[in-house]
Amino acid sequence: MAKASREPKISAEEATARLRHAGLRPTRQRVELAGLLFQDGDRHVTAESLHDEVSGAGVKVSLATVYNTLHQFTEAGLLRQVIVDAARSYFDTNTGDHQHFFLEKEGLLIDIPGETIAVAGVPAPPPGLSVDRVDVVVRVRRN
């Protein structure tokens, strides 16, 4: 009864399996970060916020590794990058089709399920170009 962790985060085994499945070596750092990122449904993190979180949990991981890991997870399809703020990059654990509310003031992202919003009338792109994706950001403020 020495260790009394009360976090409902996914087990190291689950994280390890997920990493291997994605073709990534399950290092201590990646297992820790995956544990935090994928414990709950949807999360929107920043390199800094995740670094603070993992550090706050007493785990030593450098900020450079957090950046590396976020990018590797993104390349592996485990995360997706969201661009809503000129100053910060967000990473989203929800890789499915969906949109966002963005609370500029507090840097908060809230998911809008994929089927909720319908975008009609997107014109054909100029010749030689093809559509990669359509992003909708609903910018909101406190009233």
Q: Which residues bind Zn ion (CB under 5 A)?
A: 92, 94, 111
Residue 89 lies near a second copy (rule: CB under 8 A) = yes
Nearer to a second copy, 16 or 46 (CB): 46
Burial class (CB in 10 A: 0-12, 13-18, 19+), 32: buried
Nearer to Zn ion, 31 or 84 (CB): 84
Q: Is the separation of the CB atoms in 104 and 67 below 8 Å?
A: no
> What's the closest the beta carbon of residue 9 comes to a second copy, in angstroms?
26
Task: Provide the binding-site residues for DNA, judged by CB under 7 A.
Answer: 20, 24-30, 46-48, 60-65, 67-69, 71, 86-89
**Long-range contacts from 56-59, C-beta under 8 angstroms, 24+ separation:** 57/7, 57/32, 59/29, 59/32
- In the list a second copy, Zn ion, Mn ion, none, the entry touching 111 (Cβ below 5 to 8 angstroms by class) is Zn ion
Strand order in the sheet with 44-46: 44-46, 90-92, 80-82
DSSP 8-class letter at 92: E
- In the list DNA, a second copy, Zn ion, none, the entry touching 126 (Cβ below 5 to 8 angstroms by class) is a second copy
d(CA 74, CA 45): 12
**Interface with a second copy: number of residues (CB under 8 A):** 38
Nearer to DNA, 86 or 118 (CB): 86
- In the list Mn ion, DNA, Zn ion, none, the entry touching 9 (Cβ below 5 to 8 angstroms by class) is none
Q: How many C-alpha atoms does 117 have within 13 Å on its Cβ side?
A: 15
